[in-house]
Structure 1
Amino acid sequence: MAGANPTKAILYALAANGAIAISKYVAAFITSSGSMLAEAVHSTADCGNQLLLLLGLKQAKRPPSPDYPLGYGKETYFWSFIVALMLFSIGGLFSIYEGWHKLHEPEPLSYPLLALGVLAFGIIAEAFSMWGCLVEVNKSRGDRSLWQWFRQSRNSELVVIFGEDLAALLGLVLAFVAVTLAWVTGNPMWDALGSIGIGVLLIIIAILIGIEVKAMLIGQGVEEREKAKMLAVLQQHPAVEQIYNLLSLQLGSDVMVAIKARLKPQGSEQQLIANINDIERQFKQAFPQVMWLFFEPDIAD
């Protein structure tokens, strides 16, 4: 994860969504805007989501125990998956319901300029949150596109925050357009359609986040480019003749690695053990995220 700090991104998002949620509720109450109410609920759900992510990060730092010998690192994946479900249900489904309700019982907008002002403020605040998230994302994505990083990353917190921020920005823009159309045309149908559009958007992004986090929860190894670096470090050691297998398991911010390799003739058991210890020492220096390393010398795969 190359120095990325998901806690910073989470705190940026929490601060932005807290301020936005309050302003949206006030505006929704005054204007009777369905799109605004949908956005207010969305921002509230996002605040809860960020608190759950912070809880997951805290729980993941607990030391290993007899029942959990590899630690609690994957707890971050569990809470990230819960966040994806909340984004789908509380955010997406409620927005669709609210829009459907407004289609059948339309209400004219009150104080549309107030609604647009709150939405403009929300866009600015969410842009700030997205900037904070992208600063952390860029520390680990290298030359990959954002989509490639999203599909390949093992950092569930950043994946969730990036998805949330993207959904929030697009949702705010959609709400701004819907309220503007409802105001200009005098037809509240646009406001209702905006709410439904926001719901569909949230559900799509929640599904994409859920797919990625589910893969981490089941048990993915390290990213392919990280595995290639690991193999390169091993092959550079003078005692290593051939690498048969390198298996890894991502456990939140920690990693477990198992290696099976042929070593060059050592002359004695003591020298064999000394070389294995040296390989493990150099490997952990190169990859400090590796908390558990198992090395098996062999003569065949």
Structure 2
Amino acid sequence: MSHSNSTSAIIVAFAANLGIALTKTGAAVWTGSGSLLAEAIHSVADCGNQVLLFIGMKRSARTATQQHPMGYGREAYIWSMMVAITLFSVGGLFSIHEGWLRYHEPQAVENAGIALTILAIAVVLEGFSLRAALGAMESERGDRKIWQWFKETQSSELMVVIGEDLAALLGLVIAAAMLGLTMVTGNSLYDAIGSMLIGALLIVVAILIGREVHSLLLGEADAQIRDAVHRYLEKQSCVTRVLNIWAISHGSQVMVAVKAEMPPNLSVGEAVELINGMEKQIKTDHRRINWVFFEIDNSD
């Protein structure tokens, strides 16, 4: 995933959420709707999240140092985890708290028709943001389904943006449905329940994102690259047997470690030359691979 695509997705999401947040906040104050207030809180949190993602992406691109010889690629995951925590606490828990208060102390919802109009506009803006994020995703998704991509991607910032946008659209549907029930029945408790449902939705999304980012932080294997390198090595006449391969993601880059058996009659110079050639080809075939460590052995 290129940084340019991720940057575009983040900027579009920030612009859309900023406009939505301002609109929802004004409408929530005007109408007194708890569901709309929950959605406004969600959008404000999303704006802050996009700022955190952008900072993380820029910091992860810093040049490697002696203290951090493999660079700062995984720092993007740290900031993505911060976003998941923010989505959980600020977005989810606060929305549930607000809904709970309104459930026990009902407040009348005024101008619900205006609120529904605001929600419809927000749906269009969120849809525009999601479309931009999905377009950025297509360059790396290939023929994988979206859920499979979500489980396997190393682009934590794009995963977060798409997760937020999907949650936002579902949240808007919930808010519209509950406001509609409030208008039909005259019972503002539906609006309070809508706020709590939106909060629960945000918590679920935050947990899903947090779990995937946690896996990336620990050092997740890239199965596609691992299998591709394995197939390449098996075709090389100088490789007697491939014993093991590790392909570990490090931000947008990958570290590959190979343990393979080579003919025993090779001289040290010949083995070095062959290994250098294979390492160069592996890096050429897979641009994300930045490090290749090749060990000659004859046992697993």
The runs of at least 4 consecutive aligned structure 1 residues that moved more than 4 Å come to: 1-4
SS of aligned partner of 2:64:
coil
Q: Deviations over 1:6-45 (max 9, x none)?
A: 2222122111101100100110111011111110110000
Aligned to 2:79: 79
Q: Quick one: distance in 1 between partners of 2:101 and 2:192?
A: 8
Contact 1:247–1:257, Cα closer than 8 Å, also in 2? yes
User: Please, what is the CA RMSD of the aligned residues?
Assistant: 1.6
Aligned to 1:17: 17
Contact 2:225–2:286, Cα closer than 8 Å, also in 1? no
Alignment of 1:56-75 (within 5 A): 56-75=56-75
The structural deviation recorded for 1:237 is 2.8
Q: Quick one: distance in 1 between partners of 2:266 and 2:232?
A: 24
Q: Quick one: distance in 2 between partners of 1:189 and 1:9?
A: 37
The structural deviation recorded for 1:4 is 8.7
- What amino acid maps onto 2:86 in structure 1? M
Contact 1:3–1:140, Cα closer than 8 Å, also in 2? no
Aligned to 1:254: 253
Contact 1:234–1:283, Cα closer than 8 Å, also in 2? no
The structural deviation recorded for 1:139 is 2.2
- What amino acid maps onto 1:292 in structure 2? W
The structural deviation recorded for 1:3 is 9.1
Q: Quick one: distance in 2 between partners of 1:13 and 1:83?
A: 14
Contact 1:3–1:139, Cα closer than 8 Å, also in 2? no
Q: Deviations over 1:219-264 (max 9, x none)?
A: 1121x22321121122233322211111122111011111111123
- What amino acid maps onto 1:247 in structure 2? W
Q: Deviations over 1:32-69 (max 9, x none)?
A: 11111110110000010011000001000111112211
Contact 2:225–2:247, Cα closer than 8 Å, also in 1? no
Alignment of 1:1-301 (within 5 A): 1=1, 5-222=5-222, 224-264=223-263, 267-301=266-300
Identity of counterpart residues, as a percentage? 46
- What amino acid maps onto 1:221 in structure 2? A
Q: Quick one: distance in 1 between partners of 2:129 and 2:270?
A: 54
- What amino acid maps onto 2:271 in structure 1? L
TM-score with structure 2 length normalisation?
0.96
Q: Quick one: distance in 2 between partners of 1:267 and 1:234?
A: 17
- What amino acid maps onto 2:277 in structure 1? D
Q: Quick one: distance in 1 between partners of 2:7 and 2:230?
A: 30
Q: What stretches of structure 1 of length at least 5 have no aligned partner?
A: none
Q: Deviations over 1:82-122 (max 9, x none)?
A: 10000000000011011111111211111112111110011
Q: What stretches of structure 2 of length at least 5 have no aligned partner?
A: none
Q: Quick one: distance in 1 between partners of 2:131 and 2:263?
A: 50
Q: Quick one: distance in 1 between partners of 2:262 and 2:275?
A: 9
- What amino acid maps onto 2:218 in structure 1? I
**Cα distance change on mapping 1:5 and 1:240 into 2, 3 Å:** farther
The structural deviation recorded for 1:266 is 5.9
**Cα distance change on mapping 1:3 and 1:47 into 2, 3 Å:** closer
Q: Quick one: distance in 1 between partners of 2:225 and 2:290?
A: 15
- What amino acid maps onto 1:286 in structure 2? D
Contact 1:249–1:257, Cα closer than 8 Å, also in 2? yes
SS of aligned partner of 1:233:
helix
Q: Quick one: distance in 2 between partners of 1:93 and 1:159?
A: 22
Q: Deviations over 1:107-158 (max 9, x none)?
A: 1111112111110011111111111111122222222222222122222112
- What amino acid maps onto 2:36 in structure 1? M
Contact 2:181–2:190, Cα closer than 8 Å, also in 1? yes
